[in-house]
Structure 1
Amino acid sequence: MSKLRSLVPSTHSLFVFEAAARTLSFKRAAMELNVTQPSVSLAIKTMEKHCKVILFIRDNRGVRLTEAGAELYDDVRAGFRRIEQTLENISERGTKYLSFAASTTLAAHWLAPQVYHFQQIHPDIRLKIVVTDRDVEPDHEIDVTIWIRKRDFNQANTWFISDEVIFPVCSPAYLAAHPQLHTIEDLNHHQLIHSSDAHRKRMSWSEWIELAGGDPSQIRRDIVFTDYQLGIQAALLGEGVALGWSFTNRFHLDNGSLIRPLPHQIETGRAFFLVANDRIGESEKTKKLLDWVLAQSKVHRSHGPP
């Protein structure tokens, strides 16, 4: 048993003391605690008698803390704050989130710019974005994710989002400061931003140029980012030309922060798929999330790549 129980007349007296010490008013403390002022005064007197120390000085101007009262208040206030923080933390753990697993690029360049819209129309749903460097299987911890698979991929609880279409992208500032691009061969005279991914296969510049009918032998790999997200960030900052994916770069293309300096594009025969776990039939909130993702990505199915 905690010794504290024998040092105070009751745990309630600590709440009364904290309110009175914080407000320096028995009247305001009573209003806050929804009790009468005499009951506050009695609780403080009982506590002072039990502790054998005067905690408040009472005079015509009101009340003020004694040295002992101020010392006790500092510790009670700090203790209450720690308890509040712990209770908030453990309560938060019990909150049910919908978990959306996504790559860094998808999270940063597709979800982040518009997820506030989902929260506005569904304020009752809490969404947790789980950034992962590899594909994960939806399970008891992950509700929804997005995979890239062959165009004919077919599995329960999956929905086609968009074909995988890849093309060069750069910032308007970069293109304004460098020679115009008219042909695939013109890429040899530009700074190409290279990226690789240890866990997801991404098309390289050499592969893209060869598929587009060019000669990749002149391509130099001066700088390589090991995260595609960093490569796109470099393109946004005007550092060069990167390869862009139609789905994940749609937001930047729509707002003009990235442009397509060449009309050439490669359709890979693969596609983006929305994937949900087996509990979708039990969760109306998960269905709302799926409907929202499909609605936000409808443009890719209605009008094709940008």
Structure 2
Amino acid sequence: MKNDLVVKDNVLINASYNLELTEQRLILLAIVNARESGKGITSDSTLEIHASDYAKRFNVTIDAAYKALKEAANTLFERKFHYAAPLKDYPQLKVYFFKARWVSRIAYADDFATLAITFAPDVVPLITCLEARFTQYQLKQISQLTSKYAIRLYELLISWRSVGKMPMIELAEFREKLGIEPTEYQRMELLKRRVLEPAIKQINQYTDIRVKYEQHKQGRTITGFTFSFKIISEINKLEKVRDEFDINKIFKKMTDKQRHLFANKLSELPEMGQYSEGTESYQQFAVRIAEMLQDSQKFEELFPYLQKVGFQTA
């Protein structure tokens, strides 16, 4: 399989939209195909998606792929998204809230089972002219997700890959970004049972991250959620460390001087961002890390990071 890298500007990751599962898959497949072509794309470029490619990428029958492409030809042209950004020619001005279409042109060739997509002018720079503000992941990570909400939640989470957690998101914003209509799942019990929990279950089962959430309340009313997650490769790394080292023995040997020395180093490690709280300084963070290193379970959890900043076990 080719390099199936999906890359989006974070403006697009954080946009609000409601796309059905097949529509999201087709947009992502078009982004991958645009990158794989190596030719670059403009708002005049036409990208072809074949039913056979769709079937292979998302492990569906060829008949299901035919149906997905044919239906998208009738619906995707009408789909819009909302995003926040400054005006390109006046970046110093306040942020504007834009409404845009995903595609400016779409067609389906029945005889060839092929969909032809031309991305709208607003979309092209958000998948091609990328600087430091972008998120990327392999298409295979979401290929087995069958919930449209799971795909959106995965993208939102993975944009925080470097820190392993997403800041508290207000309920209204959460609904908007996942494309939940105001009339849908108005009761919290329904929202959690039909949207949130199935999405998390699929993400944990089929993707490269393991996620959990906490709910935030004002009184008895849930007002938002916080998500934290670990990447499987990091979990596997910890398991390998457990197999190779006697962590408890190393923990007992660590001196107070070493604990504070390496706590200072850890406080500046980007991967440690998942443990930071609020707006604490590096110094405050280092003090808290030193306290964490006094706990054997936390020490074991942080051991791979200690090795990364030069901690020697011998």
Q: TM-score range by the shorter chain?
A: under 0.3
TM-score w.r.t. structure 2 length? 0.21
**Structure whose alpha-carbon radius of gyration is higher:** 1
Higher RCO by CA contacts (8 Å cutoff, separation 6 or greater): 1
TM-score by length of 1: 0.21
